[in-house]
Amino acid sequence: MRSSGSALALIASIAFAFPAGGCFGYNRSAKRWAYVGDTVLVLGGGAAIATDVTSKEAPCSGDNCLYRSSIHGQMVAGIVLVAAGLAGIVFNATRDNVKTSR
């Protein structure tokens, strides 16, 4: 059994809504929102991975079984989202605040 279309739509919307959530935190306020975006990326990626892991098909036990990879596109998308979120967190934690004049 594979995941439903609504779960994939949710994951896709997270991927498109927060693609650069943590990459542009330049002052204190922007960094806070960047951390929110990074957290959403990590949680969305974790949900994608969990959905893929929990919706595995039953293994074939007959003579005419075709090879099916255990790595699916949903797993790869989840890994990419988690990696982007973690990279954004590290980037924002190590970036200095920029002084802006207003």
What is the phi/psi pair of residue 4, to 5°? Answer: -80, 165
Please tell me the predicted confidence (pLDDT) of residue 21. Answer: 46
> What residue ranges do the domains of the chain occupy?
5-54+68-94
Region of 68 on the Ramachandran plot (φ > 0 left; ψ -120 to 50 alpha; else beta): beta
Please tell me the predicted confidence (pLDDT) of residue 34. Answer: 84
Please tell me the predicted confidence (pLDDT) of residue 50. Answer: 92
Band of pLDDT at residue 5, cut at 50, 70 and 90: low
Please tell me the predicted confidence (pLDDT) of residue 1. Answer: 45
Please tell me the predicted confidence (pLDDT) of residue 96. Answer: 79
Q: Which pLDDT tens digit goes with each residue over 72-96? A: 888 888 998 899 889 888 888 887 7
Give CA–CA dist 39/29, Å, rounded.
16
For the full predicted model, state whether its pTM sits above 0.75. Answer: no
Whether pLDDT at 3 is above 60:
no
